[in-house]
Amino acid sequence: MGKIHNIGVLISGSGSNLQAIIDACAAGKIKARVACVISNKEDAYGLERARLAGIPALHLDHRAYTGRESYDQALVATLREFDVELVALAGFMRIITPVLLDAFPMSVMNIHPALLPSFPGLHAQRQALEYGAKVAGCTVHFVDCGTDTGPIILQAAVPVLEGDSEETLSARIQKEEHRVYPEAIRLFTEGLLDVSGRIVAVGS
């Protein structure tokens, strides 16, 4: 029996990825627990998901802080309170600063709904459709100072089908998100990710 790792999940919305992580922990697929969920939005449904699972659900309103750094300081303080070792961004609609990244070196992950480095930033699925891409997907990566630029951990591809809307493509991608995000966390908690520059070697 290895140690149980504490994960802090940051959200702004529905939290379906959060749910996938909670479920994977509950099923024993990941040796970890979601120690706290923090949202910058009070009405994020993900907070309700956390409460239903008996997980501390905190609203930290970014508007109450003078800048990104001071907000991130509050995030770090809260994550430390819960002994968090891995921070998982799951639909967290905030640009984060080195204040958070330096506090959790190579221990902040994000999921992005595109095959990076294609289509970083907002509305990735719409970008893929408008570009005419035939393959789309999702990427789990470590977070660095750029927007969706950090070392890639796992990716999954899905086809773009004729007649796809942003909604149908997003739904197809989300199915894969819910599979690869818990898997990336499992690899992290089992010490199977070896990062060298941009390259993440995945052990088994």
- Closer CB to ligand GRF, residue 8 or residue 113? 113
The residues in 109-148 that bind ligand GRF, with binding defined as CB under 6 A, are 111-113, 138
150 binds ligand GRF (CB under 6 A): no
Q: Which of 90, 133, 187, 193 binds ligand GRF (CB under 6 A)?
A: 90
Tokens of 166: 């942003």
DSSP annotation string for 12-63: SS--HHHHHHHHHHHTTSSSEEEEEEEESSTT-HHHHHHHHTT--EEE--GG
* Closest among 9, 60, 57 to 33, alpha carbons compared: 9
Q: In the complex, what is the shortest distance from the CB of residue 110 to ligand GRF, in angstroms, rounded to a whole number?
A: 7
51: tokens are 């409460």
Looking at 5, 59, 62, 112, which residue is catalytic? 112
- The residue number with the shortest CB distance to ligand GRF is 91
Q: How far apart are CA 54 and CA 95, in angstroms?
A: 28
Question: By CB under 6 A, which span of 11-19, 30-38, 101-109, 188-196 interacts with ligand GRF?
Answer: 11-19
- Least Cβ distance, residue 159 to ligand GRF (angstroms): 17
By the rule CB under 6 A, 91 interacts with ligand GRF: yes
Decide whether 125 or 189 has the Cβ nearer to ligand GRF. Answer: 125
Q: Are strands 57-59 and 32-39 parallel, antiparallel or unpaired?
A: parallel
Q: How far apart are CA 72 and CA 60, in angstroms?
A: 10
Verify whether residue 178 is a known catalytic residue: no
Least separation, in Å, of the C-beta of 124 and ligand GRF? Answer: 8
**Peptide bond before 159: cis, by omega within 30 degrees of 0?**
no
The CB-of-27 to ligand GRF minimum distance in angstroms stands at 18
Q: Which of 8, 9, 15, 37 binds ligand GRF (CB under 6 A)?
A: 15
What is the rounded distance in angstroms from the CA atom of residue 5 to the CA atom of residue 22?
13
Out of 128, 177, 184, 185, the only residue in the binding site for ligand GRF (CB under 6 A) is 177
Asked if residues 136 and 160 have their Cβ atoms less than 8 Å apart, the reply is yes
Question: Which residues does the annotation mark as catalytic?
Answer: 112
Which residues in this chain contact ligand GRF in the complex, by CB under 6 A? 11, 13-18, 90-91, 111-113, 138, 174, 177
